[in-house]
């Protein structure tokens, strides 16, 4: 969970308000039904958003309220992150950017893409695993709605699964209409499997010339958000110390602590106060460097593994697959095909 209070932007809230309004439910009535004095201004606390989802379903008498909220998403729903998606050249790039910039729209959960075979898997991990079904179902409905709009064609998953139990009032026809298939329920995670070839599907309306500018803007917003996190300074210092040390020596907690004039225990405590662990910061530094190195044709995978402090290429390959969902060689080939 983020160190600052989890929130949802006003733009991301809008489809929920519109869905409620379609049932004749005013914002005041919706807030009252959720036990809130009012719907707070932007940004809205994430817990309030979840309460509003449940209240909307109850007041509307709509068991598929979450699906219907997701149907109302549009580019503006995702704010700057949505604009970045509009500039992506293909579905694969759009999903990559979703993983990085989703937090600019909300703190409800995080996306992960894994691929390498005939099927790719999208996983959404909720920060609120005990929330009602409407949260996950709204997210997946929104992804399909916006993805189909970007691709200018209906997109349907090969298989879809939700972690929550099958609702007793589940309407298979409504799930199939909104999501493209009837999902399985009671799965280990919220996932969508789809044909990996779709990752290369071009986005017809993409304004790719705007991508560098929009990405720079999104990166600036991410930095500002990170700087607003309590303890962000210590995370940044550890990250910089790790980057400085990686190519010279094995990176260990004790060594980084010494470089920062701290004891290992004090460094661990400071990182914990910032909502991070040493391993998380190390992985983030290695992943960022790995992507830069993989874009350099003169570096072999063995070279990159060495520069990142791995003793064997196989260990680097395993780690990169955990970070990105694919092998470093495949990632390099994909990036080369985009230039």
3-state secondary structure the chain: CCCCCCEECHHHHHHHHHHHHHCCCCHHHHHHHCCCCCCCCCCEEHHHHHHHHHHHHHHHCCCCHHHHHHCCCCHHHHHHHHHHHHCCCEHHHHHHHHHHHHHHCECCEEEEEECCCCEEEEEEEECCCCCCHHHHHHHHHHHHHHHHHHHCCCCCCCEEECCCCCCCCCCHHHHHHHHCCCCECCCCCEEEEEEHHHHHCECCCCCHHHHHHHHHHHHHHHHHHHHCCCCHHHHHHHHHHHHHHHCCCCCCHHHHHHHCCCCHHHHHHHHHHCCCCHHHHHHHHHHHHHHHHHCCCCCCHHHHHHHCCCCCHHHHHHHHHHHHCCCHHHHHHHHHHHC
Which is more confidently placed, 231 or 202? 202
Mean pLDDT of 158-162: 96
- Predicted pLDDT at 3: 43
* Per-domain residue ranges of the chain: 7-200, 230-338
Specify whether domain 230-338 bears CATH 3.40.50.720: no
Share of the chain above pLDDT 90, in %: 59
pTM to 2 decimal places: 0.71
- Predicted pLDDT at 191: 97
Per-residue model confidence as pLDDT tens digits over 188-199: 999 999 999 999
Task: Kindly tell me if the per-residue pLDDT of 121 is higher than 90.
Answer: yes
Which is more confidently placed, 262 or 223? 262
pLDDT class of 179 with cuts at 50, 70, 90 = very high
Q: Give yes or no for a cis peptide into 43 (omega within 30° of 0).
A: yes
- Predicted pLDDT at 1: 36
Per-residue model confidence as pLDDT tens digits over 36-81: 999 977 788 888 999 999 999 999 999 999 999 999 999 889 888 8
- Out of 40-44, 59-63, 151-155, 177-181, which region has the weakest mean confidence (pLDDT)? 40-44
- Predicted pLDDT at 280: 85
CATH, range 7-200: 3.90.1520
Q: How far apart are CA 139 and CA 102, in angstroms?
A: 11
Per-residue model confidence as pLDDT tens digits over 71-115: 999 988 988 889 999 999 999 999 999 988 898 999 898 999 998
């Amino acid at each position: 969970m983020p160190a600052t209070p989890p929130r949802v932007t006003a733009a991301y809230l809008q489809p929920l308000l519109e869905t409620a309004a379609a049932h004749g439910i005013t914002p005041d009535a919706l807030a009252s039904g959720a036990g809130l004095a009012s719907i707070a201004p932007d940004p809205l606390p994430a817990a309030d958003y979840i309460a509003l989802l449940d209240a909307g379903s109850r007041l509307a008498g709509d068991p598929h309220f979450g699906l219907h909220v997701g149907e109302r998403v549009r580019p503006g729903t995702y704010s700057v992150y949505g604009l970045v998606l509009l500039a992506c050249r293909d579905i694969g790039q759009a999903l990559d950017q979703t993983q990085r910039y989703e937090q600019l729209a909300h703190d409800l959960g995080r996306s992960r893409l894994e691929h390498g075979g005939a099927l790719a898997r999208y996983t959404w991990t909720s920060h609120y695993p005990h929330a009602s079904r409407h949260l996950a179902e709204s997210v997946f409905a929104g992804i399909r709605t916006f993805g189909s709009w970007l691709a200018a064609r209906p997109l349907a998953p090969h298989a879809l699964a939700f972690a929550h139990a099958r609702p007793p009032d589940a309407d298979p026809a409504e799930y199939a209409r909104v999501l493209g298939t009837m999902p399985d329920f009671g799965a280990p995670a919220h996932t969508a499997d789809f044909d990996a070839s779709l990752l290369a599907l071009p986005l017809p309306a993409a304004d790719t010339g705007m991508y560098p500018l929009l990405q720079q803007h999104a990166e600036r917003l991410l930095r500002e958000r990170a700087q607003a996190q309590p303890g962000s300074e210590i995370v940044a210092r550890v990250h910089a110390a790790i980057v400085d040390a990686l190519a010279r020596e094995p990176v260990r907690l004790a060594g980084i602590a010494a470089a920062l004039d701290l004891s290992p225990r004090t460094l661990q405590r400071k990182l914990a106060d910032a909502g991070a662990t040493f391993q998380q910061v190390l992985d983030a530094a290695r992943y960022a460097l790995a992507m830069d190195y993989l874009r350099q044709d003169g570096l072999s995978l063995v070279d990159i593994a060495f520069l990142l402090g791995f003793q064997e290429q196989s260990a680097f390959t395993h780690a990169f697959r955990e970070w990105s969902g694919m092998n470093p060689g495949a990632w390099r080939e994909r990036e080369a095909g985009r230039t």
